[in-house]
């Protein structure tokens, strides 16, 4: 009963307060309370930034000791800070850091391996390839262990480690090709017999990804690796000039030099007669030519059968609606296969014996497996086709096949003559659909045309090469652009193949070339070379066009004309402007010469040269 009465009393009090308002002073919030900072001292230990703005300096020995036992994000972050911001400690303990990080590549945990590759990429980017060389065997050992690991997941991630080394240390990876290549090919193949280097494809049972997707990943890296090997091989073949700039000094071996190490003394440095070598020479290996050619032949015989065997599983059958109709996945794989074959051929192209062995051994497989369905097209709908895979017409793949077709045809013309019409029809069609912005297309088509107009090819494809040249000239006339790889290619053919006279039957191209001198601000070097060569050969068309546009050429030359050349080489503008001025030497029309003589004079070297030429021609007339 007591509790009930208390409850009723409290409820009655609430009713009494309802509707009443507090007075002014009682309705104000009190703000006179004191505030004090709350400081948690224990949490400050993990703060990376100090209040002054300086980064916290980590103990490298402590971090390396902790990373052996723990791979927590904190330890990884601390090591990353040391690599990026403590350069002195990083360079001093580079070997220990590489060992600790490379060891993580074999970890069972995927996240740890992921952090390992991020750190390894940072390490390689923070040091030079030269400084990395003494410790490269450590990385190589862990790379080989990852490639041959029993766990498929670690094998897959070994490709990520290989990517980092290819990107940051291509020369070192190329030099260790004998150690890397067998283990790398083991990822997708196995040796047929112990005494034979040839290999056969292997199945990856138990992998989460399909065999074709796995092979595609491996072959993509193989192309990059072969390019690194080719680049290194070209550097080794180049002659190294050893120069000595010091004077010879005579050293008395019997004399003694005694010096107090604690005494401050000025010691004069003297030049020693020692050859100075470029640092890049330290990357080369001294191998005799016989041993090097045997190694190259070994690589070719290991890889080429794998390429044909891979395509055998994907090539179209006779049951398809189109002979060369292939899906997108097959088009991607065909592109990889042809890129690898071209890189392998580039390896042995300089060695005549290896080249003939290559063409003889693989001509049958190339004919039956690849050329039999040429040209290829993609049969997927437009949403799946991409330009990176060659588009609907498999343009990259077919150009690569045509490039190899030239090489095989030069050895066995009779066998491959049945594909000649198809091949040149496709090349002509590709020229007429030339896209200047497509870099890969430009590279392949230029390499193909240069191969076609080589001295060796001209012995076989004389009439066909003229047909391609006419198509090239026709396409130049349609586009009419100054900075055009097609026009540069035409000029190159003019210089190297002087028997090409098709330009006489199509004067619009020569007129276009002269108009560039008369109207454009920038004139490419290759255009000046070609016009000079044609004038020396007595080409009537080019000389007549120069006479018609002589006044415009001189005015443009004296006012705004600039020379554009290859970005890899320096351009001497005055020299090429003099060559343009020398084109006026071929003018024999007196009226044109008198008009040129009436033009305003200047003190520039080009103007003086023009005046001398005009005076000489007028006096001779």
The C-alpha atoms of residue 167 and residue 350 are separated, in whole angstroms, by 27
Helices then strands, counting H and E runs in the chain, come out as: 29, 6
pLDDT of residue 90: 86
Residues 495, 512: one domain? no
What is the secondary structure of 69-83 as a DSSP string?
A: H---HHHHHHHHHHH
Asked if 326 and 342 sit in the same domain, the reply is: yes
Residue 249 lies in a domain: no
Query: Do strands 189-193 and 196-201 pair parallel, antiparallel, or not at all (unpaired)?
Result: antiparallel
State the DSSP string of 385-434: --GGGTTTTTHHHHHHHHHHHHHHHHH-HHHHGGGHHHHHHHHHHHHHT-
Distance, in Å, from the CA atom of 343 to the CA atom of 349, rounded to the nearest integer, reads 10
Q: State whether 365 and 510 are in the same domain.
A: no
- Please compute the mean of the pLDDT values over residues 178-183 and round it to a whole number: 92
Q: What one-character DSSP code corresponds to residue 483?
A: S
User: Parallel, antiparallel, or unpaired: how do β-strands 562-564 and 522-524 relate?
Assistant: parallel
Q: Is residue 17 part of a domain?
A: no
Query: Same structural domain for residues 448 and 546?
Result: no
Q: How confident is the model at residue 469 (pLDDT cuts 50, 70, 90)?
A: confident
Per-residue pLDDT at 345: 93
Q: If you average pLDDT over residues 457-462, what whole number do you get?
A: 83
For residue 132, the domain's CATH number is 1.25.10.10
DSSP string, 321-338: SSTTEE-HHHHHHHHHHH
* CB of 231 closer than 8 Å to CB of 174: yes
pLDDT recorded at residue 113:
92
Conformation bin of residue 520: beta by default, left when phi > 0, alpha when psi is -120 to 50: beta
Sign of the four-CA dihedral 338, 340, 342, 348? negative
Angle made by CA atoms 196, 197, 198, in degrees to the nearest 5: 90
- Mean pLDDT of the residues in the chain: 79
Distances (CA, A) of 471 to 188, 276, 427, 491, 529: 43, 52, 9, 14, 22
Taking only Cα atoms into account, the Rg of the chain, rounded to an integer number of angstroms, comes to 37
100, part of any domain? yes
Indicate if the pLDDT at residue 249 is higher than 70. Answer: no
Token pair, residue 155, equals: 């094998």
Structure tokens at 140: 């190589």
pLDDT tens per residue, range 206-217: 666 678 888 999
224 lies in the same domain as 346: yes
Spell out where 355-426 has E strands: 377-378
Same structural domain, 459 and 518? no
In a domain, residue 90? The reply is yes
Rounded Cα distance, 23 and 14, in Å = 18
Query: Which residue is it, tokens 């070719």?
Result: 300
> C-alpha distances in angstroms, 167 versus 57, 125, 269?
30, 10, 40
Q: For the chain, how far is it from start to end, CA to CA, in angstroms?
A: 143
Residues 392 and 402: their CA atoms lie apart, in Å, by 17
Tokens 């991409």 sit on residue: 386
Residue 262 in any domain: the answer is no
Structural domain including 486 reads: 434-500
Q: Where do we find the tokens 């799946």?
A: 384
Tokens of 598: 């009436």
* Residues 443, 566 within the same domain: no
pLDDT for the residue numbered 358: 92
Site of tokens 């290559």: 358
pLDDT > 90 fraction of the chain, expressed in percent and rounded: 23
Q: Given a cut of 50, is residue 267 above it in pLDDT?
A: no
Confidence of residue 160 (pLDDT cuts 50, 70, 90): very high
Asked whether residue 74 falls in the same domain as residue 217, the answer is no
Instruction: Identify the three-state secondary structure at position 31.
Output: coil
Check whether residue 86 and residue 184 sit in a common domain: no
Give the span between the Cα atoms of 607 and 554, in whole angstroms. Answer: 9
Interval 474-486: pLDDT, tens = 888 777 665 677 8
**Residue 258 domain-assigned?**
no
| CB neighbourhood size of 227 (10 A) | 16
Q: Characterize 158-172 residue by residue with b for buried, 16 or more Cβ atoms within 10 angstroms of its Cβ, and e for exposed.
A: bbbbbebbbebbbbb
Least confidently predicted of 165-169, 171-175, 209-213: 209-213
| Per-residue pLDDT at 34 | 75
Q: Which residues pair with 196 in a beta bridge?
A: 193
CA dist 282 → 129, 132, 163, 279, 288 (Å): 11, 12, 23, 6, 17
Q: Are residues 88 and 110 in the same domain?
A: yes
Give residue 103's Cα distance to chain centre: 30
What confidence score (pLDDT) does residue 282 get? 45
Judge whether 118 lies within some domain. yes
In our burial notation (b when 16+ CB lie closer than 10 A, e otherwise), range 260-296 reads eeeeeeeeeeeeeeeeeeeeeeebeeeeeeeeebebb
Domains identified in the chain, total number = 4
Cα dihedral: 386, 390, 395, 400 (round 10) = 180
Task: Identify whether residues 93 and 62 lie together within a single domain.
Answer: yes
End position of a domain, from candidates 367, 393, 409: 409
In this structure, is residue 427 part of a structural domain?
A: no
- My answer on whether omega of the bond before 103 falls inside 30° of 0, hence cis, is no
pLDDT at 333 over 80: yes
Q: Same domain for 464 and 549?
A: no
* End-of-domain residue from the set 467, 500, 533: 500
């Amino acid at each position: 009963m007591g509790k009930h009465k208390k409850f009723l009393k409290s409820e009655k009090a609430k009713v009494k307060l309802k509707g009443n308002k507090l007075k002014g002073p009682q309705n104000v919030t009190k703000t006179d309370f004191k505030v004090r900072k709350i400081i948690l001292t224990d949490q400050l230990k993990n703060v990376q930034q100090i209040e002054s703005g300086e980064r916290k300096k980590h103990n490298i020995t402590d971090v390396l000791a902790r990373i052996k036992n723990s791979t927590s994000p904190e330890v990884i972050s601390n090591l990353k800070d040391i690599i990026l911001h403590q350069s002195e400690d990083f360079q001093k303990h580079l070997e220990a850091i590489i060992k600790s990080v490379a060891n993580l590549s074999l970890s069972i945990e995927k996240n740890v391996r992921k952090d390992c590759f991020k750190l390894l990429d940072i390490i390689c980017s923070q040091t030079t390839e030269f400084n990395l060389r003494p410790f490269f065997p450590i990385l190589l050992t862990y790379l080989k262990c990852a490639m041959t690991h029993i766990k498929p997941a670690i094998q897959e991630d070994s490709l990520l480690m290989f990517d980092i080394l290819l990107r940051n240390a291509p020369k070192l990876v190329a030099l260790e090709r004998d150690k890397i290549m067998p283990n790398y090919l083991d990822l997708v193949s196995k040796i047929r017999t112990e005494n034979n280097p040839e290999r056969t494809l292997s199945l990856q049972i138990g992998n989460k990804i399909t065999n074709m997707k796995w092979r595609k990943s491996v072959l993509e890296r193989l192309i990059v690796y072969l390019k690194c090997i080719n680049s290194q091989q070209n550097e080794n073949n180049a002659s190294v000039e050893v120069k000595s700039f010091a004077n010879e000094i005579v050293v008395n071996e019997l004399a003694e030099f005694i010096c107090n190490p604690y005494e401050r003394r000025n010691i004069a440095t003297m030049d020693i007669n020692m050859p100075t070598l470029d640092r890049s020479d330290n990357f080369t290996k001294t191998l005799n030519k016989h041993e090097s050619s045997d190694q190259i032949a070994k690589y070719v015989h290991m890889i080429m059968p794998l390429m044909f065997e891979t395509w055998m599983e994907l090539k179209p059958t006779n049951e398809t609606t189109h002979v060369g109709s292939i899906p997108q996945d097959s088009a991607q794989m065909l592109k990889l296969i042809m890129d690898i074959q071209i890189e392998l051929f580039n390896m042995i192209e300089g060695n005549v014996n290896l080249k003939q062995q290559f063409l003889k051994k693989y001509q049958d497989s190339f004919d039956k497996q690849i050329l039999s369905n040429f040209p290829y097209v993609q049969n997927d709908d437009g949403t799946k086709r991409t330009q990176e895979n060659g588009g609907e017409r498999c343009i990259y793949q077919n150009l690569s096949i045509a490039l190899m077709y030239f090489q095989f045809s030069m050895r066995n013309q009779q066998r491959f003559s049945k594909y000649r019409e198809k091949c040149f029809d496709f090349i002509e069609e590709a020229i007429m659909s030339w896209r200047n912005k497509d870099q890969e297309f430009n590279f392949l088509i230029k390499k193909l045309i240069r191969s076609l107009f080589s001295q060796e090819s001209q012995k076989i494809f004389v009439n066909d090469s003229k047909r391609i040249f006419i198509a090239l000239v026709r396409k130049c006339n349609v586009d009419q652009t100054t900075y055009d790889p097609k026009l540069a290619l035409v000029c190159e053919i003019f210089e190297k193949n002087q028997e090409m006279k098709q330009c006489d039957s199509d004067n619009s191209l020569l007129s276009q070339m002269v108009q560039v001198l008369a109207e454009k601000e920038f004139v490419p070097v290759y255009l000046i070379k070609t016009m000079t060569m044609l004038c020396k050969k007595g080409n009537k068309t080019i000389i007549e066009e120069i006479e018609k546009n002589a006044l415009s050429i001189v005015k443009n030359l004296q006012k705004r004309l600039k020379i554009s050349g290859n970005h890899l080489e320096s351009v001497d503008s005055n020299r090429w402007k003099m060559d343009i001025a020398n084109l006026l030497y071929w003018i024999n029309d007196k009226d044109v010469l008198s008009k040129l003589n009436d033009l305003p004079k200047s003190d520039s070297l080009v103007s003086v040269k023009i005046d001398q030429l005009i005076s000489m021609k007028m006096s001779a007339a």
